[in-house]
Amino acid sequence: MEKLHRRDFLAQLSLATVAVSVPKHAFSFHSKADAFVEVETTYGRIKGMQNEGVNLFKGIPYGGRISGDRRFRRPAPLEPWTGVRDALQFGAPAIQPPRRNEPAPSEDCLFLNVWTPANDNKKRPVMFYSHGGGFVGGSGAAGGQDGSNLARNFDVVVVETNHRLGLLGFLYLDELGGADYAGSGNMGMLDIAAGLKWVYDNIAQFGGDPNNVMIWGESGGGAKTSCLYAMPEAAPYFNKASIESGPGVRMTTKEIAAETTAMLLKELNIAPKDWRKLLDIPAADLLAMQAKLPFVPPFIEKNKNLGMMRRNYGGFGPVVDGVVLPHHPFDPTAPAISRNKPLLVGWNEDEYAFFAWERKDTEFAKLDFDSLSKKLEPQYGEDTAKIVDTYRKANPDATAPQIFMAISSITMMGLGSVDIAEKKVKQGGAPVYLYNFGYKSEKKIPGTDYPMGTPHAMDISFKFNNEIPPRDGSAPKESFFGGNRPERFTASRHFAELWTTFARTGKPAAKDVPKWPAYNLKTRPTMRIDTTCEVIDDRFSHELAVWRAVGKL
């Protein structure tokens, strides 16, 4: 097994989340309709379906053509239609490998889906979700994130978009293409902002409140949410946010993005002055080329070695271009543009278990404390002994594999989450709430006796309230990650209720859950979400202290 360093984990995250975004229980885009529902939008009338008390509208176009001469540019204007357009099947996802139970990917992919309890002009909170999959995969119809149960059980409206990804969404051409290609390095983010504007203009017809919109997302969707939180173009259209296991503190700089563009042109044997030849290359060929280049993780480490950053992070993701994304989302400070917008941020306790599963890493489960230090030394060098010693003292009963899991998980998603929370507090504006998701799955990582615990991406089905007994009274099926224990239904209810209450009021709360205090720099309260939830003050204090001491936080 090759040694897995933090940057290796993160570089794989974009692909890894794609792998889990279509598990066996993914819902089909051929849903059974109890009845049909028609509604007027700003572009024309559409027909959706009613199913078990939820109205679902699939594949609604929110932008025009982005292929041909519109590649790497703002979409063509969306043409209104006459008559009634069917919104009964999910729209094509962005160009990527084919996705199970979904339409074939397409370059023209600007579609969104809406789940609502009723089209009755009631002003419900709107939960606008950005899917995971890093910046290269996923869709608004991915398994586990069906919005039906949130809409039905918590009286909210759920919206999910497809948007440009990878090379087609984030190729930086500003310096080559001129005014027509301004913002090219952030087209995928501008698509999402356009989806938010569509919500503002139309969601009242779907029973939602355009002035009470929460943006949220997991993994790559958390990084996208971090960017939206700092984007002037998105700012008028949302009121609060949640960043889940994807703390986008920093994004790609213009300099690195320009080098990636130069690398691509060189690989394609295209001179910079002839860059327009990119417009004629089939999208499938660009996808194949994209796979040969590095991937951008959901967040980029603070690293003064620019050369190393170029080697590690020269891929396709949002670009700090000074205009669309004026600065890094949370570096050096929380974005002033969202100062008064409440924020949730946090991570899963056993994030690395997902990557062990995805990478078939069984070796970590065999570690003893001697081999643990040897495994960590290439990444942490002379600080390894200090880090391991701190973790052993803070967790005296932990085994070497458990210490490795704890270190790997907090460095992947925890340190950035804490960084965001601290910077939001220092801003002195709206509150920020820090969480850890901790429900433990009993399922084993294949090839080991090590339990999955709370791996990366397991939160998706829990927070969407999709860990729930079947409505027809049949026996529950095993959850893809969450296992078989019925306690998971309670944890899912807590998670979903906390998030929907936050969407409604700006303060997370739920029945049978302690009051969740806003984060502060004195007591540092963290909500641990589980079958029984608890507020823990100054959690991981010793561990975070050592990460500060070695310059990782």
Cα distance from N-terminal residue to C-terminal residue, the chain: 29
Least confident of 147-156, 165-174, 317-326, 473-482: 473-482
Residue 539 pLDDT more than 80?
A: yes
Beta bridge partners of 451: 444
Give the domain CATH number at 371: 3.40.50.1820
Tokens 């009021």 -> residue: 505
Q: How far apart (Å, rounded) are the C-alpha atoms in residues 3 and 24? A: 30
Range of the domain at 178: 11-123+141-187
Write out pLDDT tens, residues 446-461.
999 999 999 999 999 9
Nearest alpha carbon to residue 329 among 217, 411, 440, 447: 217
Mean pLDDT on 299-315: 45
417 is catalytic: no
In this structure, is residue 422 part of a structural domain?
A: yes
pTM summary value? 0.93
Yes or no: say if 201 and 237 are a contact pair by the CB < 8 Å rule: no
Mean pLDDT on 180-188: 98
Yes or no: say if 220 and 361 are a contact pair by the CB < 8 Å rule: no
In this structure, is residue 430 part of a structural domain?
A: yes
Q: How far apart (Å, rounded) are the C-alpha atoms in residues 34 and 435? A: 38
Could you list the beta-strand ranges (E) of 261-325.
319-320
Nearest alpha carbon to residue 433 among 535, 365, 283: 535
Residue 363 pLDDT more than 60?
A: yes
In 3-state terms, what secondary structure has residue 116? strand
Residue 387 pLDDT more than 80?
A: yes
Total domain count, the chain:
2
Q: How far apart (Å, rounded) are the C-alpha atoms in residues 114 and 210? A: 14
In this structure, is residue 208 part of a structural domain?
A: no
Q: How far apart (Å, rounded) are the C-alpha atoms in residues 170 and 183? A: 9
Residue 187 pLDDT more than 60?
A: yes
In this structure, is residue 452 part of a structural domain?
A: yes
Question: Which residue is catalytic, options 21, 148, 184, 219?
Answer: 219
In 3-state terms, what secondary structure has residue 424? helix
In this structure, is residue 296 part of a structural domain?
A: no
Q: How far apart (Å, rounded) are the C-alpha atoms in residues 379 and 395? A: 21
Cβ atoms within 10 Å, residue 303: 13
Yes or no: say if 208 and 126 are a contact pair by the CB < 8 Å rule: yes
In 3-state terms, what secondary structure has residue 334? coil
Q: How far apart (Å, rounded) are the C-alpha atoms in residues 387 and 401? A: 15
Summary mean pLDDT of the chain: 91
**Mind spelling out the 3-state secondary structure of 454-504?**
CCCCCHHHHHCCCCCCCCCCCCCCCECCCECCCHHHHHHHHHHHHHHHHHH
In this structure, is residue 276 part of a structural domain?
A: no
Q: Which uninterrupted H or E stretch holds 49?
A: strand 44-51
Burial class (CB in 10 A: 0-12, 13-18, 19+), 30: exposed
Tokens 């379906």 -> residue: 49
Residue 6 pLDDT more than 60?
A: no
Beta bridge partners of 214: 127, 240
Q: How far apart (Å, rounded) are the C-alpha atoms in residues 130 and 416? A: 19
Confidence of residue 301 (pLDDT cuts 50, 70, 90): low
In 3-state terms, what secondary structure has residue 443? strand
Question: Which residue is catalytic, options 226, 456, 492, 494?
Answer: 456
Q: Positive or negative, the Cα torsion across 319, 222, 313, 301?
A: positive
Write out pLDDT tens, residues 268-277.
999 999 999 9
In this structure, is residue 285 part of a structural domain?
A: no
Mean pLDDT on 278-295: 90
Q: How far apart (Å, rounded) are the C-alpha atoms in residues 280 and 263? A: 18
Q: How far apart (Å, rounded) are the C-alpha atoms in residues 288 and 97? A: 10
Mean pLDDT on 45-52: 97
Question: Which residue is catalytic, options 349, 351, 467, 543?
Answer: 351
Residue 317 pLDDT more than 70?
A: yes
Residue 180 pLDDT more than 70?
A: yes
Q: Which uninterrupted H or E stretch holds 528?
A: strand 525-529
Q: How far apart (Å, rounded) are the C-alpha atoms in residues 546 and 247? A: 20
The percent of residues above 90 in pLDDT, for the chain, comes to 87
Cβ atoms within 10 Å, residue 417: 25
In this structure, is residue 82 part of a structural domain?
A: yes
Q: How far apart (Å, rounded) are the C-alpha atoms in residues 56 and 266? A: 46
Residue 26 pLDDT more than 80?
A: no
351 is catalytic: yes
CA 456-461-464 angle, 5° bins: 125
Yes or no: say if 413 and 247 are a contact pair by the CB < 8 Å rule: yes
28 is catalytic: no
Confidence of residue 172 (pLDDT cuts 50, 70, 90): very high
What is the radius of gyration, based on Cα positions, of the chain?
A: 22
